Amino acid sequence: MLQKVLFFLLLFSSFFTLPDHVFAQNPQSFFLQETQRKKADKPAYIKHSIPLKPASVDININYKAEAGRVSNYLYGNNSNPYMSKIVDQSVLMDHIKALSPNIIRFPGGNLSNVYFWNASKENRPKDVPEIILYGDQRKQKPERLWYGITDNPSSLSLSNYYQLIKETNSTGIICVNYSYARYGIGNRPVQNAAHLAADWVRFDKGKTRFWEIGNENYGTWQAGYKIDTAKNKDHQPELISGKLYGEHLKIFVDSMKAAAKEINSEIFIGAVVIETAKEKSWEGGITKNWNDGLLKAAGYAIDYYVLHSYYTPYEQNSSPEVILNTAKTETHKMAAYMKELAKIYQLPERPLALTEWNIFATGSKQSCSFINGIHAAIVLGELANLKFGMASRWDLANGYSRGNDHGMFNKGDEPGVPLWNPRPVFYYMYYFQRFFGDQLLTTKVSDNKDILAYAAKFKNGELGAVIVNKGSVPQVIDLDVTGFKTSKKYYLYSLTGGDDNGAFSQKVLVNGQTTKFAAGGPEDPKKIKALSATVTGKIKFESQPFSVQYLLIE
């Protein structure tokens, strides 16, 4: 009898600990909690004329070979305080709702380290020096701080950020000001900065589960990389290090998680890491030794790793081929390096959050082109395959900068297009989110280096597939689905560029339709009809050079 009781107690205990065990075995861990399964949205359609040419590429999707879940947080974006109030811009809000990013980062970028969520311009923190030092060669001048309390119509206040999250049905990820722990001139700068972050957690009242400690603090371009030791009161060194950041991070984590416990909330805190191994560090020993110092000092205090990547060589006039190849190679480098670090430092593998990503290519308007859209589609597919926990693209709006703008929408300074006009990347990410499920499937492509395929099924069994032709040669695709019913109805969208601006068209064509303006895509992608047919056996379609096909299969 006693053995039976012990058996049932063990079974009962195992039942209630099962979810933690399941998540512990899953690379995305808590990024999969509290998320709903995706449902497919079937579009209106017109008849698809199946090509008569013989197939040049075979793709197989194994419907029964499930390869893990896809995080709903891969489609995120970055907001920032200098892009307007956002919530009073109805056109922009409609675009963001259609995009459905699921997660929006704030306050985003370098200014996170000079951002004070509970202060205003009229109430500047007294322990912040007028001049804040950086590690680069910029001229010293009074620092412009950013504030959560503002009624400036061109600035996104903290209250409007929370409204943005609510109205777009998104989750937040907040980057707190770590550098205040460095440049603060109070008696206890680290504790003051940690307390400020913890008070934000209390104020947040459980709305935000994901938090980051600082932004790219290993970089000379960050406030607090260098400090005036004559003004510092807790004997910190002039230059930052990974070890120092790790020691401070533990104080932040303790303060913030204690605050979360007070309000009966659970939060997860990410740490800034160098995303790939550098053969030659671009900032000397600080970046070369950053991960080593951080992980030795605070490895077990970190819930997830915060990575940033701008993929292509810095400010080079990269070709389409160079840009598109980085989407896969660099994403794999990041994932492999994080696994390597776990082994080296004998730490559990942590979920990965790519909280900023884009391309650095300049000189031919690459950032605003359809090529950047194709790059985004490949990145999303690789992030899904490699089971990243979340990703947020940089950013919703920025500045045109002669076509080198990382913004997804025109902030009002791009010639020939209206305010908030979507750039081509919007359409590539819109259709990816709409046509890609959340249960990853195994795909195989015949011997062709230019064709990439990603597939995931939805809650009710529909299959979503994304096919990328990153080459300059058209292909005819035969798509076979193993383990699926013989008769299939499918819906197809094909996206490619126009004939403007050489290799980097500023337009995107969706099933042949595009914009009447100088750049962008169709006015309302929801109104564009899919190409559809019902087939027995393989699905056959054309894939134009530098194009992406999105398929939903019933």
pLDDT in tens, 355-413: 999 999 999 999 999 999 999 999 999 999 999 999 999 999 999 999 999 999 999 99
Domain-embedded: residue 416: no
CB 115 within 8 A of CB 144: no
Which string of DSSP letters, residue by residue, matches 274-303? -SS--SS-TTTHHHHTHHHHHHHHHGGG-S
Q: Residue 26: pLDDT band by 50, 70, 90 thresholds? A: confident
Domain-embedded: residue 143: yes
Beta strands in 132-252, from DSSP E residues, in sequence order: 146-147, 171-176, 210-213
pLDDT in tens, 7-20: 333 333 333 333 33
114 and 222 together in one domain: yes
Domain-embedded: residue 371: no
Domain count, the chain: 2
Read off the DSSP letter of residue 243. Answer: H
Read off the tokens for 400: 């045109």
Q: Work out whether strand 530-536 and strand 475-482 pair parallel, antiparallel, or are unpaired.
A: unpaired
Domain-embedded: residue 519: yes
Q: How many angstroms separate the CA atoms of 388 and 308, rounded?
A: 13
Domain-embedded: residue 434: no
Q: Work out whether strand 57-69 and strand 439-445 pair parallel, antiparallel, or are unpaired.
A: antiparallel
49 and 134 together in one domain: no
Q: How many angstroms separate the CA atoms of 389 and 227, rounded?
A: 34
Q: How many angstroms separate the CA atoms of 140 and 133, rounded?
A: 7
Q: Positive or negative, the Cα torsion across 478, 483, 489, 492?
A: negative
Mean pLDDT of the chain: 94
111 and 168 together in one domain: yes
Domain-embedded: residue 342: no
62 and 199 together in one domain: no
Which of 284, 302, 320 terminates a domain? The answer is 302
Q: How many angstroms separate the CA atoms of 279 and 174, rounded?
A: 32
Over residues 58-77, the mean pLDDT reads 97
263 and 176 together in one domain: yes
More confident residue, 441 or 36: 441
CB 116 within 8 A of CB 125: yes
247 and 123 together in one domain: yes
What is the rounded (10 degree) CA torsion for 109, 114, 116, 121? -120
Please classify residue 539 by burial: count the beta carbons closer than 10 Å to its beta carbon, then call 0-12 exposed, 13-18 middle and 19+ buried: buried
Q: What range defines the domain where residue 173 resides? A: 105-302
The percent of the chain in helix, strand and coil, each rounded to the nearest 5, is 30, 25, 45
Read off the tokens for 143: 């620092």
54 and 142 together in one domain: no
Q: Which CATH number covers residue 517?
A: 2.60.40.1180
Please identify which residue in the block is written with the tokens 């459905």. 100
Domain-embedded: residue 120: yes
Which of 277, 302, 327 terminates a domain? The answer is 302
| Percent of the chain at pLDDT exceeding 70 | 95
57 and 110 together in one domain: no
Beta strands in 2-95, from DSSP E residues, in sequence order: 45-47, 57-69, 76-78
40 and 114 together in one domain: no
135 and 223 together in one domain: yes
pLDDT in tens, 138-167: 999 999 999 999 999 999 999 999 999 999
| pLDDT score of 460 more than 60 | yes
152 and 255 together in one domain: yes
Which string of DSSP letters, residue by residue, matches 426-461? HHHHHHHHHH--SEEEEEEE-S-TTEEEEEEE-TTS
Read off the tokens for 462: 């529909």
215 and 144 together in one domain: yes
Q: How many angstroms separate the CA atoms of 63 and 444, rounded?
A: 12
- State the DSSP H helix or E strand holding residue 347, giving kind and residue range, or none if neither: none
Which of 302, 317, 335 terminates a domain? The answer is 302
Domain-embedded: residue 458: yes
